[in-house]
Structure 1
Amino acid sequence: MTTRIAIELVPRTREALELELQQIQQNFPHITAINIPDLLRFDIRSWEGCAIARQWFPQTIAHIRAIDMHPYNPLHMIDYLRAHEIGEVLVIAGDPPQNHERVIYPSTSVDIIRKFKREAPEIKVYAAIDPYRNSFRVERDYIRHKLDVGADGFFTQPFFDLRLMEMYGDQLQGQTVFWGVSPVTSEKSRFYWETRNNAIFPRSFAPTLEWNQQFARQALEFVRRSGFDIYFMPIKTDILKYLNGVLVE
């Protein structure tokens, strides 16, 4: 089975997003899917970014923030997803907005996965895996709960340690999983990941482009060997420079 390789692109502006999409399509034929986060500080919502991305990539994955979804009303973006042939979504819990005037709801990711499978069963719904928020056993049980309500697969938080990936991979055999890899090229960025997300870095970690490219190649080898998928999330790193050292085939 061919490994799917996706990349997460932040939709800062339409022009910037279109430029990145063109560059990726022209330079990296192994990338076949675009993953668009839903960031409230930007005007473009995730599903709108996916509609733009579909001009270059037929496979796009929209993020859906559970806390933005009314627990009883129909999912408001379903018609948009269908109209633009966006057939995959990732449901995440969502962080509360800094603007307190924005309405949020007590909906959980489990609630919204269940709503998607009921209201739009043709759409493939991914759930999130966060190896840092809970103990391994608690996260494993949460994964099982998401499968029970209909999750079709998973996207993980970025990993930085291959040993931790292998431990989770042993429990996820047979599931559709996009493993996250994100370059961290400064001590400030590492501090952010450790303090904000409780991320775990190996002793060998170095905040250099070379270390991150080497780890990304190792992660890609792991997912190909294990029958999984992967997505790259180069938040503050030059995309072309980073990927040229990863997708070297």
Structure 2
Amino acid sequence: MERLRFASVEMFGRALPDDRVRDALRTALASSPADVSLTATVYSSPGEFVAGGDAVDVLVRTGAPSAGPAGPLALAVVEYERVLPAVKHVGEVAKTLFMRRAVREGLDDAAFVDRRGRFSEGTIWNLAFWDGEAVVWPDAEMLVGTTMGIVRRQLEQLGVSQRVQEIAVADLPTLGGAVVMNSWTPSVAVRRVGSVDLPQAPRFLELLHRAFEAEPLTEC
């Protein structure tokens, strides 16, 4: 809810009340199966290209639940910087393009580096790396995902070392593993990024899942 409020103010200058959004989510859940994916999108009621329109509404979409791909994944390396990286928004055609292009090349998905060569995120994923003892988060402009936020909070509670570090392709051979994460899952193993093979790190994956599962549940 905090991220939705921030993004709404950034895009439209105002946010819907939390209770309005929660009511829409509850209404969608009431007519859905017990296990379902749920997406809330805040949009400009007058239209996307109407200047100065400050009326906003919310669209809730349901879909089949997903746990994400099984992995381990092979990722292409693509130089790309999202517009408004801190905001989750729908203007993301490039992510679809680069994911599909990677699949056509025999890979699974893509990871982005910025103009300075720093890893930031994946097409629909946050990236996390492992050095054998600590979780290493990329230092670059990105969308901080809700799952990423949960994992970071709970890793701190578990006393697990974490750090933020600039990571380039040349740094990959020094690392002991990598994962992608999003709202589907706190970790899918990555076996290769570009031309660099990465070791599998089952302890790393287990740790991320344990951290995610430690987050207290909150009623909608």
TM-score (structure 1 length as normaliser): 0.26
Structure ID, larger Rg: 2
TM-score norm. by structure 2 comes to 0.28
